[in-house]
Amino acid sequence: MAAGPFVIAVLVSGNGSNFQAIVDALEAGRITNASIACLISNKADAYALERAKKHAIPAIVLDHKLFPDRRAYDTALVELLRQHGVQLVVLAGFMRLLSPVMIEAFPNAIMNIHPALLPSFPGVDAQKQAFDYGVRYTGCTVHFVDQGTDTGPIILQAVVPVLQDDTLESLTQRIHGEEHRTYVEAVRLFCEGRVLVDGRKVSICD
Ligand code: GAR
95 C-alpha to ligand 1 centroid (Å) = 8
Catalytic residue numbers, as ranges: 114
- Name residues whose C-beta falls within 8 Å of residue 206's C-beta, 6 or more positions apart in sequence: 194
Residue nearest to atom 8 of ligand 1 (CA): 93
158-178: string of b/e by CB count within 10 Å (b at 16+)?
bebebeeeeeeeebbebbbeb
pLDDT digits (tens, 9 = 90+) for 45-84: 999 999 999 999 999 999 999 999 999 999 999 999 999 9
16 C-alpha to ligand 1 centroid (Å) = 8
* Amino acid 1: pLDDT: 43
Q: How confident is the model at residue 3 (pLDDT cuts 50, 70, 90)?
A: low
- Region label for 12, one of left (φ > 0), alpha (ψ between -120 and 50) or beta (otherwise): beta
Report the C-alpha gap between 199 and 119 in whole angstroms: 16
Say if ligand 1 is within 6 A of residue 113 CB.
yes
pLDDT at residue 169 tops 50: yes
> Which ligand 1 atom minimizes the distance to the CA of 172?
2
152 C-alpha to ligand 1 centroid (Å) = 17
Report the C-alpha gap between 21 and 64 in whole angstroms: 26
What is each CA distance from 108 to 16, 132, 146, in whole angstroms?
22, 32, 8
Q: How confident is the model at residue 186 (pLDDT cuts 50, 70, 90)?
A: very high
pLDDT digits (tens, 9 = 90+) for 99-124: 999 999 999 999 999 999 999 999 99
* Amino acid 188: pLDDT: 97
Longest alpha-carbon distance in the chain: 50
